[in-house]
Amino acid sequence: MKKELLTLLLIVFFASAFGQQTTDKQNPFPKTITVTGSAEMEIVPDEIYVVVDLREYDKRGQGKIDIERIKSAFVQNCREIGLIDSAITIASYQGYNNPWLRKKKKADLYSTISYQVKFSKSNDMDRLVDRLDDDATQNFRIIRTAHSRINEFRKQLKIQAIKAAKDKGIYLSEAIGEKLGDAISILEPEENSAAYYNNLTRGENSQIYLRDSMKLSYGMGDNAEIPVDFKKIKLRFEINVVFALK
């Protein structure tokens, strides 16, 4: 009876020791803390994307002002304010000057073209608006804003967020008499431009944009300077970090 009892105790002991060893292998960090660090910043955009819609029109005494003439004048105006050709691209084009339409007696239709222009500052936009052909220009709208150093700023914010997570982990663990150990895992947020950009969109007519509406908003006269800046881009990152406790 004693031999059987001793054998049973030995089995229980080894089973317990084996179970403890297995648990330690499966979970080498039995005590952990999960913290979230965040960082954010606001930046003034230095890339402003604008779409300008142009259309043929009839001018008294001259007949139709064709699209080629309008295109040439627009590109020339862009160059004269210092824009490089790579900053000017065609967003869409609709032309009616073809044999089929002339045969169908649709020569009275008007061709249209839309340009996308990238500006680095709002003053250049003012200068271009002042040069636009008011009859040809159908619309002048901002489609989005960005920054040339956006990837650099993202990297900086992620580093700051991880450091903030570590600082938080230190004081939280000390509050319960523990010490922060090694980082076990870092969960980086998904890169989603829609989540990190505050894109600007406007649909104001070219005659209003950057002239009358802003002067009215700031109560300025016709000859006053317009100290208007664009809505800042807000970047924010949150990173989850799991630390061991020791």
The CATH code of the domain that includes 38 is 3.30.110.170
Q: What is the pLDDT of residues 204-239, one digit of tens each?
A: 333 334 333 333 233 333 444 444 567 788 999 999
Position 100 in a domain: yes
Greater pLDDT, 7 or 64: 64
CA separation, residue 183 to residues 29, 124, 161 (Å): 11, 49, 14
Q: Give the per-residue pLDDT at 96.
A: 64
99 in the same domain as 124: yes
Q: Give the per-residue pLDDT at 114.
A: 95
**Confidence category of residue 149, pLDDT binned at 50, 70, 90:** very high
Q: Give the per-residue pLDDT at 105.
A: 52
184 in the same domain as 66: no
Q: pTM of the predicted model, to two decimals?
A: 0.65
Greater pLDDT, 188 or 163: 163
Among residues 150, 57, 153, 63, the alpha carbon closest in space to that of 110 is found at 57
**Confidence category of residue 103, pLDDT binned at 50, 70, 90:** low
Position 169 in a domain: yes
CA separation, residue 57 to residues 63, 93, 159, 232 (Å): 8, 16, 55, 38
104 in the same domain as 65: yes
Residue 114: both structure tokens together: 């839309």
pLDDT, mean of residues 92-101: 67
Domain that residue 158 falls in: 27-45+148-200+222-246
Flag whether pLDDT at 58 surpasses 60: yes
The total number of structural domains in the chain stands at 2
Position 7 in a domain: no
Q: Give the per-residue pLDDT at 108.
A: 64
**39 neighbors 17 (Cβ within 8 angstroms):** no
**Confidence category of residue 4, pLDDT binned at 50, 70, 90:** low
Residue 245: both structure tokens together: 């406790």
